[in-house]
């Protein structure tokens, strides 16, 4: 049986998980592939560090450059995280003609075009299934399973940390800060949580999915991003009363006009929709193709085992490509749309949830409705609960489809009214009407 040697650069949670998965299921993998995968080196920062996964000391090294230079290693697995060092590693490995497997969505979001071109130039390939949605094989779905479809819509719950926080807030009526603190203590959120809770992690993933789905590279700076810090228990409570659940949702849809709408932001989803039932740390991707219709992909989006499973899947593909003489069955990314563009966020049309705090006096609602009417924005429902103490009370409006630019301007005018206090909350609504 042919042996394919690989080096794992990064011996942390995911790197250790990949080594453990290969040790656990190596024979099974070899029997299915007809190829034996052998780990020659695991590159770590500190040789003396205690690790939850036992790796023989003879395989450990701190020298990633030597792992790439070693002619025995045909595959390099980059699992160091971050961007700067990962970029150096992947770039050097591709230039050396090595196949590269990575789980690094931030790296691909920032340098994907360059790295895909390097892979093509040096006649090798870059594999990145683990970069989006952990154990859900969503990259394979778009590149292979749905290759014969035009993608009419793609919606994703792509960040388990945010989904866990919003689920807890909904179940318990708790505030964001307290639940985030619990999530950090339990290991579901990083000590510095910005990448997750500000939507950047989901944005990196959405950019990759949008690029694959629509055939042109989508730069991260063209993706509209909002995080979940401003979502309150009050918003979740009123959304539930209206028949909705709040999720951090990635939306990727071609528009009737030219361009693809792509965004990551808190969104009200109808309770009856399948994505509303995705709870805790789980991810889901809901895709509609013009031939296949609607499809759903669900599973753990992060964690040692889920990510390791996706990395091992890529290792299997890389090994089979090498057995065939190094010619990749599928290139890393094929740009096939010449004039692809991202539709401006401000021009996007959607219904909205609007929460204001207002002084409860006659004429308040009339003034607000007048401003919305002048912007040609219609109101579909109103909630003004009783029993709130203080100078102001919450006022919740659900409005019909409106252009985001018009909605933003109307809210600015409303906030200048003396009867309106504090910062408004504006959340997009997705009713999945195609």
| pLDDT (0 to 100) of residue 389 | 62
* CA 350 to chain centroid: 21
Q: Is the per-residue pLDDT at 295 higher than 90?
A: yes
Q: Is the per-residue pLDDT at 339 higher than 90?
A: no
- Residue 362: count other Cβ atoms within 10 Å of its Cβ: 6
CATH class of 345-429: alpha beta
Burial class (CB in 10 A: 0-12, 13-18, 19+), 187: exposed
| pLDDT (0 to 100) of residue 161 | 94
Active site residues: 205
CATH architecture of 2-134+304-323: 3-Layer(aba) Sandwich (3.40)
Four-way CATH pick for 138-300: 3.90.1150.10, 3.30.360.10, 3.40.47.10, 1.10.260.40: 3.30.360.10
| pLDDT (0 to 100) of residue 352 | 97
Q: What angle do CA 114, 119, 120 make, to 5 degrees?
A: 100
- Both tokens assigned to 402: 């409106």
The answer to whether residues 318 and 128 touch, using CB atoms and an 8 Å cutoff, is: no
- Both tokens assigned to 422: 């504090």
pLDDT in tens, 391-416: 788 999 999 999 999 999 999 999 99
The Cα-based distances of 288 to 169, 216, 247, 262, 341 in angstroms read 30, 19, 19, 15, 20
Q: What confidence category does residue 130 fall into, taking pLDDT thresholds of 50, 70 and 90?
A: very high
pLDDT in tens, 151-191: 999 999 999 999 999 999 999 999 999 999 999 998 888 88
- Which DSSP state fits 431? -
Q: What confidence category does residue 128 fall into, taking pLDDT thresholds of 50, 70 and 90?
A: very high
pLDDT in tens, 323-333: 988 677 788 88
Pairing of strands 2-9, 293-300: unpaired
Mean pLDDT value across residues 196-206: 97
The answer to whether residues 77 and 7 touch, using CB atoms and an 8 Å cutoff, is: yes
> Tokens 């045909």 identify what position?
74
The answer to whether residues 40 and 7 touch, using CB atoms and an 8 Å cutoff, is: yes
| pLDDT (0 to 100) of residue 388 | 65
| pLDDT (0 to 100) of residue 328 | 74
The Cα-based distances of 247 to 77, 197, 268, 270, 403 in angstroms read 33, 12, 7, 10, 21
Domain boundaries, the chain: 2-134+304-323, 138-300, 345-429
Q: What confidence category does residue 108 fall into, taking pLDDT thresholds of 50, 70 and 90?
A: very high
| pLDDT (0 to 100) of residue 116 | 95
- Both tokens assigned to 320: 């089979």
Pairing of strands 151-157, 293-300: unpaired
Mean pLDDT value across residues 284-291: 97
pLDDT in tens, 63-86: 999 999 999 999 999 999 899 999
The answer to whether residues 208 and 132 touch, using CB atoms and an 8 Å cutoff, is: yes
Q: At what angle do helices 304-323 and 13-33 cross, to 10 degrees?
A: 40
The answer to whether residues 108 and 333 touch, using CB atoms and an 8 Å cutoff, is: no
Q: Which pTM value belongs to this model?
A: 0.94
| pLDDT (0 to 100) of residue 387 | 61
């Amino acid at each position: 049986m042919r042996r394919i040697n690989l080096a794992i650069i990064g011996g942390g949670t995911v790197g250790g998980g990949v080594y453990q998965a290969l040790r656990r299921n190596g024979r099974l993998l070899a029997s299915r592939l007809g190829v034996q995968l052998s780990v020659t080196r695991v590159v770590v920062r500190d040789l003396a560090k205690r690790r939850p996964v036992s790796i023989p000391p003879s395989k450990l090294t701190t020298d990633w450059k030597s792992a790439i230079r070693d002619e025995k290693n045909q595959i390099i697995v980059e699992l160091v995280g971050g961007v700067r060092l990962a970029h150096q590693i992947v770039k050097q490995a591709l230039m050396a003609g090595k196949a590269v497997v990575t789980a690094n969505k931030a790296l691909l979001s920032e340098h994907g075009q360059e790295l895909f071109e390097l892979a093509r130039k040096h006649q090798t390939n870059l594999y990145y299934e683990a970069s989006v949605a952990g154990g859900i094989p969503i990259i394979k779905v778009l590149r292979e399973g749905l290759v014969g479809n035009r993608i009419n819509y793609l919606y994703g719950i792509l960040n388990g940390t945010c989904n866990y926080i919003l689920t807890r807030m909904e179940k318990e009526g708790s505030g964001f800060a307290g639940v985030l603190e619990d999530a950090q203590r339990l290991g579901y959120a990083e000590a510095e949580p910005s990448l997750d809770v500000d939507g950047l992690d989901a944005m990196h993933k959405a950019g990759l999915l949008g690029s694959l789905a629509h055939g042109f590279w989508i730069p991260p700076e063209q993706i509209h991003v909002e995080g979940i810090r401003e979502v309150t228990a009050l918003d979740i409570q009123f959304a539930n009363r209206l028949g909705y659940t709040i999720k951090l949702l990635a939306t990727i849809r071609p528009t009737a006009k030219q361009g693809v709408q792509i965004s990551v932001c808190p969104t009200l989803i109808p309770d009856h929709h399948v994505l509303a039932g995705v709870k805790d740390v789980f991810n889901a991707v809901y895709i509609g193709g013009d031939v296949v219709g609607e499809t759903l992909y669900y599973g753990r989006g992060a964690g040692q085992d889920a990510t390791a499973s996706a990395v091992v899947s890529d290792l299997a593909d890389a090994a089979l490509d090498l057995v065939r003489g190094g010619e990749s069955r599928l290139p890393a990314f094929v740009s096939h749309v010449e004039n692809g563009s991202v539709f401006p966020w401000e021009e996007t049309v959607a219904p909205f949830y609007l929460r204001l705090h207002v002084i409860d006096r006659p004429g308040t609602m009339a003034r607000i409705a007048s401003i919305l009417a002048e912007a040609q924005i219609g109101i579909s429902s109103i909630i003004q609960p009783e029993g709130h103490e203080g100078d102001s009370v919450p006022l919740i409006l659900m409005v019909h489809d409106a252009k985001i630019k018009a909605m933003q301007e109307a809210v600015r005018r409303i906030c200048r009214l003396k009867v309106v206090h504090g910062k408004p909350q504006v959340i997009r609504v997705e009713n999945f009407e195609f």
